[in-house]
Amino acid sequence: MPMVRMLGHAEATVAIEAVRDELARRQDAAVVAVSDAHGELIALLRMDGAPVSAVTVAINKAYTAARMRRPSRAIGEAIRDPGRGVSASFYGDDRYVGWAGGLPVQIDGAVAGAIGVSGMSQDLDEAMAGIGVAAILR
């Protein structure tokens, strides 16, 4: 039976600390969510000054990236391209989102979890999620 590696609390802490440190350096704030390979929440940080509304969005970005095994941005792009066969209903699950800021974490070629960041522009959210992914993979 194949073993699937999943992120745990230790990896989630590493990712959150890396993103938090970078955002503090930039004097910015956001919400950072880390999920396991099923998209279920492992850890969450809402920095002082981050909008409360960003909590659910960050969780959903991580959920989407883990479940779909690709960046959350790709879901939004697929919806805007009708030839890709993705409907706006997000498969009947309102936790799927199409905004940038959710990135899967791949270990040994398999998705082990994901990071979702929300509270800034989509591009900055995605860049900060990338910092979290890089910290885990170091």
Residue 83, classed as helix, strand or coil, is: helix
Average pLDDT, the chain: 92
For 16-28, give one letter per residue: b (16+ CB within 10 A) or e: bebbbebbeeeee
| pTM (two decimals) | 0.91
Structure tokens at 78: 């697929």
Task: Give domain 9-137's CATH architecture.
Answer: 2-Layer Sandwich (3.30)
pLDDT (0 to 100) of residue 26: 97
The answer on pLDDT for 8 being more than 60 is yes
Q: How confident is the model at residue 9 (pLDDT cuts 50, 70, 90)?
A: very high
| 41-92 residue pLDDT tens | 999 999 999 999 999 999 999 999 999 999 999 988 877 766 655 555 556 7
The DSSP bridge pattern shows strands 31-36 and 110-118 to be antiparallel
Domain boundaries, the chain: 9-137
